[in-house]
Structure 1
């Protein structure tokens, strides 16, 4: 049984232990931007294998991962993503999907436990129309639920 809880609510909630810091300091590293970091390469290959995917990409924050995920699905500027009104993407990520990606957020009220009513989600979906953004993505998060 684990004696320490790892809290994944945020990138910075759980601090690394001294043993974790020692492993990081001794890690075989190089420039990942140039594709030369063997530790990042091994990590990405292992994650791709675990997930049954051709490849994986390591990103250093949940915010960056969320932004990339939204942009992959909303591949046309002016696309729309349906989000909970208390979702992390909507409240805590500085409007990145709009500012960087040109994605229009459409919110649906979150229930107290963080869920959203399916009927409200369905009602929020827009179908292609010259006057409105086209819904391309529905984001469901569990990080803000109770």
Structure 2
């Protein structure tokens, strides 16, 4: 590992010249079918950036699980740095949140000026505080449908996305056997 680090071709990533960072970003964008990707040094920073991009108005609200990583372990960064209000929904044992509870928590952006407007729903896959359980694609799609219906964005904390991919493929294989 040390030898690889010492011989790595590196440069200034701020100026866009770091070939390793650029290759990693290009590969991740391709892998996930996205236009681009951004390398950041931590998942906490990645989540904070995503929440702030989706909640571009200070005082916005995000709906997320009460035991999710963003809420429990990221030092309140979405509030402290991003100015984003968390609205928590109870996480079920499997890491999901009740779909009706999500829908009921959404605040109408055309409503009162006395409370924050919901702009984002966050999921976590795999869900660390639920034993690393993998959220199903069907569940994720249903939450995505709720978000679309209300004009909201959906962010998935994918810090363990490759675990989710492996678990999902393992479960798929097991169900076919």
* Greater fraction of residues in helix: 2
- SS of residue matched to 2:53: helix
Aligned length: 127
Runs of 4+, deviation exceeding 6 Å = none
TM-score, normalization: structure 1? Answer: 0.81
CA contact (8 A) 1:115 1:145 kept: no
C-alpha spacing 1:29/1:79, structure 2 compared with 1 (3 Å): same
Q: CA RMSD in A?
A: 1.3
- SS of residue matched to 2:123: coil
CA contact (8 A) 1:86 1:110 kept: yes
Q: What is residue 94 of structure 1 aligned with on the other side? A: 75
Whole-Å separation in 1 of the counterparts to 2:33 and 2:101: 33
Per-residue deviation at 1:95? 0.5
**Offset from partner CA, 1:63-114 (integer Å, 9 cap, x none):** 0111111111111111100111111101110110011111000001111222
Q: What is residue 73 of structure 1 aligned with on the other side? A: 54
Q: What is residue 94 of structure 2 aligned with on the other side? A: 113
Whole-Å separation in 2 of the counterparts to 1:25 and 1:106: 45
Q: Which runs of 5+ in 2 are unaligned?
A: 132-177
Aligned pairs for 1:2-81 (under 5 A) are: 20-81=1-62
Per-residue deviation at 1:51? 2.3
Q: 2:120 aligns with which of 137, 141, 144?
A: 137
Q: Which runs of 5+ in 1 are unaligned?
A: 1-19
Q: What is residue 5 of structure 1 aligned with on the other side? A: none
